[in-house]
Amino acid sequence: MQAQHSQTTPAEFEFRGSASEYFGIWIVNLLLSLLTFGIYSAWAKVRTKKYFYQNTYVAGRSFDYHATGVQILIGRLIVIAGIVAYTVLAAIPLVNLVMLLGLIFLIPYLLMRSLRFQARVSSWSNVRFDFQGTWGSAAANYFLYPIIAALTLYTTWPFVTRSIQRFHVNGHSFGTTPMSFDSPIAPFYKAFFCSALWVIAGIVALLAIVGVNASTLGAFRTLEIDPGDIAALLTVLSIYGFLILVMVPAVIIYHAMVRNTVYNYTILGDGHRFHSDVSALRLLWISISNAVVIVLTLGLMLPWAHVRRARYLANHTIFIPAGPLDDFVGTVSANVNAIGDAYGDIEGFDIGIAV
């Protein structure tokens, strides 16, 4: 009875990998990818995914990644062939117009297939995930809603973010157990305003430090700079550099706060929940310090940076079962054959969508 009670307590995510182990995988991946002119990168991606998945645990059970290098390579070759065909045929005006219209329909399809591929080659406790989102939802979330947000000067972007996250989570299932997500809009606007305040503070600091004159502002707007005006050139370059340094942290802050909201409002099956308490400023510090260390070591500390970030995110994520965890896993395992046949329908489209 006591053992069953312990299974209902929150289960923390753990990342058990190490920088030294991953460095060995990373350096071999890098060298073989260079020697094969990038062909081996498909297998390198699989090895990397497997390492991070298999070293991420919940309640003593690890995740796993089941894609093969051949699947990834075939998917990439199909995409490359499509790009080449588009480039060649784009010289014909009418054909170019038809292909542009076709992309409006094709891109949401590829996004949907990428999410499905990622889900179906991922598993936890030997049970695979699935994704059943539709083309229409993908088109609305990645095309229609961003256009509407642009018309409102992006003041409605939190609604777009919430809708995209709802599309991602609600389309996923663990075995045959569905996942669901819904939340009030307030947490998304909180993330939006926090990142916006960071940008505003950065711009104010820029104006206070650099001091921009009228000629420089004109050059900045038109990108037309007098070659002899070195001061204006340096100022414009400084402004662009500073804006990058402002915008990147703002994006990190926004994504960290959105991550917490998505995890905290996601439900798996009949009441199984998640919790995330990632600190936006802490994640920002990890990201900035990682970047500095990577640059100073000419990229050699990249494995350390990846492991450091993965461990932080895992340590601040919790699974909260609604009942005995073994009962839940057993039920899911018993029903998983209902979608077993679907795993053969994998094209290898993996275009790196973050869920």
- Chain centroid to Cα 250, Å, comes to 16
Segment 226-235, tens digit of pLDDT: 555 565 566 6
Distance in angstroms (rounded) separating the CA atoms of residues 310 and 50: 14
How high does pLDDT run on average in the chain? 84
Q: Are strands 317-320 and 272-276 parallel, antiparallel or unpaired?
A: antiparallel
Distance in angstroms (rounded) separating the CA atoms of residues 94 and 109: 23
pLDDT of residue 337: 44
Averaged pLDDT in 10-residue chunks for the chain of 355 residues: 54 95 97 95 96 95 93 87 84 80 86 90 90 93 94 96 97 92 96 94 75 52 55 64 82 96 95 95 96 96 97 96 74 50 43 45
| CB of 258 closer than 8 Å to CB of 192 | no
pLDDT of residue 349: 52
What pTM does this model have? 0.84
Segment 18-36, tens digit of pLDDT: 999 999 999 999 999 999 9
Cα separations (Å) of 152 from 47, 155, 157, 255, 318? 43, 6, 9, 21, 36
Distance in angstroms (rounded) separating the CA atoms of residues 279 and 312: 10
